[in-house]
Amino acid sequence: MADPTGFLSTPRQTAPRRPVDVRISDWREVHGRMRRGDLERQAGRCMDCGIPFCHGGCPLGNLIPEWNDLTWRRHWRDAAARLHATNNFPEFTGLLCPAPCESACVLGINADPVAIKQVEIEIVDRAWAEGWVTSQPPSAAARAAGRPAAVVGSGPAGLAAAQQLTRAGHAVTVFERDDQPGGLLRYGIPAFKMEKWRLDRRLGQMRAEGTEIRCGVHAGVDVSAADLRAGYRAIVLAGGARVPRGLPVPGAGLAGIHQAMEYLPLANRAAAGGSAAAGGTGVVGEPPVSARGRHVVIIGGGDTGADCLGTALRQGAASVTQLEIMPRPPRARPDGQPWPTYPMIYRVSSAHEEGGERVYAVSTQEFLADESGRVRALRLADVDLAGGRITVRADTERELACDLVLLAMGFTGAEDSALLAGLGVSLTDRGAVRRDDRFAAEVPGVFVAGDMGRGQSLIVWAIAEGRSAAAAADRYLAGETALPAAIGASAGPLRLGGR
Ligand SMILES: Cc1cc2nc3c(=O)[nH]c(=O)nc-3n(C[C@H](O)[C@H](O)[C@H](O)COP(=O)(O)OP(=O)(O)OC[C@H]3O[C@@H](n4cnc5c(N)ncnc54)[C@H](O)[C@@H]3O)c2cc1C
Ligand code: SF4
């Protein structure tokens, strides 16, 4: 056990965020770092419970009490090894995960939970700084027994699957249609949440281990399903769930209205500015869709909307309003979402600290155009939620002036592509690629991981899926596997009454 009385004597502490006026003038990460001694004391708050619910809260089954204890004892290198035992990319989750583990922490029942995510990022940052993270290429014998395997998509699911399969000895090629690998880590999530050099550093590790990553290759278009079948003994599909949810109201086609995933990639490319030396965070050029000087309305109150908000503020928006159709959630856990579930509560992301206004329980009725055909306002109305139904409240309609609208209402599923048809796999009613609980698609040798099989989700689930799909693919290729499977494909978040 870590410090036996740490949870009594040490209050929870996380890294400070950089001052708002400084951070909105650049694209660098918002979070600062903690002093080593302070972090060790935070790890010492862990009680090493008999039943560590944090394990169940984390889709990766991260060995949280073990690395807390090792960190508190200053065995940082061992802590890094235990962290990597269950997670290929702890710096992605340590910065970006919403930390369902902390909602399940036993200390959180009557006090502030252990700062698990903070400990995670500090361990992996130190591991890189000390040179403890090295490439782990397979042995010559494993390589000789390996088979060619293809991974389609280089988001966190595809990268995790590729790294696991490469380490098991297979000759892995990742096909990515974008010009650079990373999926939403590269072009969806802004650098102020995670700078891109962290991604490039992992890609370097993967290439050194032998994974081939081919960008600018659209599977199903540039390379046919038949060619993939002929060239590779197993295929892991990890193409994400990128079909955006639309807003079918009058005026939705006006100029100045964009999907979040049109706007954010352009902003990310502009922020990267092609400057590797700047770690992809020097601002070069104005993106073709910019918030500079504009009155911006973001429709959708979730994390993607928050990413649009932080991006618009950095681009110099005149104002930003974020609209959400649901009522404002409570600040504390509602009765129906007790420990150890992940509750829907009012959260303030770093972007929300920086500016903008959040408006809840409103619905957009129509977009209005100026004389040039560009959006000049939207008409919205208050709504009531009763018995699961949303109804517009009479006499509450009003106009909200805006000249840039960003739609951030989520995604309906995977793209129904030539690749899927060519492979002979299909989509479910929910827009996910059909698979069984061991990640196998409808045809032998094809596996499905990440948002493409689960629907819009989180990085931690994508990594867990990639690891587990790799284990299934390895068993298919080699007849057995030593790769760990974090989850079954139907696993979900902790719920009352079990998974
Ligand atoms: C704006 C935004 C912010 C987010 N922020 C967070 C966050 O802070 N924390 C968090 O946990 N989650 C966040 N998420 C969710 C998270 O990013 C996803 O759940 C995760 O990236 C899914 O990983 P994936 O590998 O399944 O798919 P993706 O990351 O979508 O990657 C799929 C890749 O496949 C490629 N591809 C698709 N089809 C083909 C093809 N036919 N040929 C070749 N390549 C193909 C795509 O170009 C893409 O690169 C965010 C999502 C969005 C949209
Ligand atoms: S990956 Fe997420 S859920 Fe798992 S330990 Fe890290 S912060 Fe917690």
**243 φ, ψ (degrees, to nearest 5):** -80, 115
Would the CB of 312 count as within 6 Å of ligand 2?
A: no
Sequential DSSP letters for 189-213:
S-TTTS-HHHHHHHHHHHHHHT-EE
For position 1, what pLDDT does the model report? 65
Q: Is 388 left (phi over 0), alpha (psi -120 to 50) or beta?
A: left
The radius of gyration computed from the CA coordinates of the chain, to the nearest angstrom, equals: 23
For position 279, what pLDDT does the model report? 43
For position 386, what pLDDT does the model report? 87
State pLDDT tens for residues 312-325: 999 999 999 999 99
Would the CB of 119 count as within 6 Å of ligand 2?
A: no
Bridge partners, 258 (sequence order): 406
Would the CB of 104 count as within 6 Å of ligand 2?
A: no
Of the chain, the end-to-end C-alpha distance in Å amounts to 28
Please report which helix (H) or strand (E) contains residue 39, including its range: helix 36-43
For position 284, what pLDDT does the model report? 57
Give, for ligand 2, the residue of 31, 54, 60, 463 to mutate: max count of ligand atoms closer than 8 Å to Cβ.
60
CA of 142 to the centre of ligand 1 (A): 31
Q: How far apart are CA 317 and CA 320, in angstroms?
A: 7
Q: How far apart are CA 125 and CA 91, in angstroms?
A: 7
What is the average pLDDT across 2-24?
A: 93
> H helices within 358-458, ranges in order?
418-423, 451-454
**170 φ, ψ (degrees, to nearest 5):** -80, 155
Residue whose CA lies nearest to ligand 2 atom number 3? 58
Give the residue, 167 or 385, on which the prediction is more confident. Answer: 167
Residue 64 CA, closest ligand 2 atom number:
5
State pLDDT tens for residues 249-288: 999 999 999 999 999 999 999 998 744 433 444 445 789 9
Q: Which residues line ligand 1 (CB under 6 A)?
A: 96-97, 152-158, 175-178, 183-184, 188-189, 193, 218-220, 238-240, 261, 264, 303-304, 307, 417, 419, 450-452, 457-460, 462
Would the CB of 91 count as within 6 Å of ligand 2?
A: no
For position 496, what pLDDT does the model report? 79
* Residue 172 neighbours by CB under 8 Å, 6+ apart: 149, 150, 151, 162, 165, 166, 210, 211, 212
State pLDDT tens for residues 162-201: 999 999 999 999 999 999 999 999 999 999 999 999 999 9
Q: How far apart are CA 499 and CA 496, in angstroms?
A: 8
Residue 93 CA, closest ligand 1 atom number:
11
Q: Minimum-distance ligand to the CA of 105?
A: 2
Confidence of residue 342 (pLDDT cuts 50, 70, 90): very high
For position 135, what pLDDT does the model report? 97
What is the average pLDDT across 328-352?
A: 93
CA of 315 to the centre of ligand 2 (A): 31
State pLDDT tens for residues 418-444: 999 999 999 999 999 999 999 999 999
Decide: 6 and 168 in contact? Cβ < 8 Å: no
For position 476, what pLDDT does the model report? 98
For position 350, what pLDDT does the model report? 95
What is the average pLDDT across 94-122?
A: 97
CA of 13 to the centre of ligand 1 (A): 31
Q: How far apart are CA 87 and CA 90, in angstroms?
A: 6
* Residue 278 neighbours by CB under 8 Å, 6+ apart: none
Would the CB of 101 count as within 6 Å of ligand 2?
A: yes
* Residue 362 neighbours by CB under 8 Å, 6+ apart: 323, 324, 325, 380, 381, 382, 383
Residue 158 CA, closest ligand 1 atom number:
25
CA of 185 to the centre of ligand 1 (A): 7
Residues belonging to the chain: 499
CA of 290 to the centre of ligand 1 (A): 22
Q: How far apart are CA 458 and CA 96, in angstroms?
A: 9
Q: Minimum-distance ligand to the CA of 177?
A: 1
Q: To the nearest whole percent, how much of the chain has pLDDT over 70?
A: 97
Amino acid (one-letter) located at 115: A
What is the average pLDDT across 201-218?
A: 98
CA of 187 to the centre of ligand 1 (A): 9
Q: Minimum-distance ligand to the CA of 264?
A: 1
Residue 419 CA, closest ligand 1 atom number:
41
Residue whose CA lies nearest to ligand 2 atom number 4? 58
Q: Minimum-distance ligand to the CA of 117?
A: 2
For position 280, what pLDDT does the model report? 46
Q: Minimum-distance ligand to the CA of 463?
A: 1
Q: How far apart are CA 135 and CA 328, in angstroms?
A: 46
Would the CB of 60 count as within 6 Å of ligand 2?
A: yes
Catalogue all structural domains in the chain, each as residue range(s) with its CATH number: 6-130 (1.10.1060.10), 140-242+412-478 (3.50.50.60), 248-260+277-409 (3.50.50.60)
- For the chain, give the mean pLDDT: 95
Q: Smallest Cα–Cα separation from 45: which of 20, 60, 31, 65?
A: 65
Would the CB of 93 count as within 6 Å of ligand 2?
A: yes
Residue whose CA lies nearest to ligand 1 atom number 27? 240
Please report which helix (H) or strand (E) contains residue 376, including its range: strand 375-386
Q: Smallest Cα–Cα separation from 408: which of 240, 221, 216, 188?
A: 188
CA of 6 to the centre of ligand 2 (A): 21
What is the average pLDDT across 9-37?
A: 96
Confidence of residue 352 (pLDDT cuts 50, 70, 90): very high
CA of 97 to the centre of ligand 1 (A): 14
Q: How far apart are CA 87 and CA 97, in angstroms?
A: 12
Structure token digits, residue 380: 């919205």
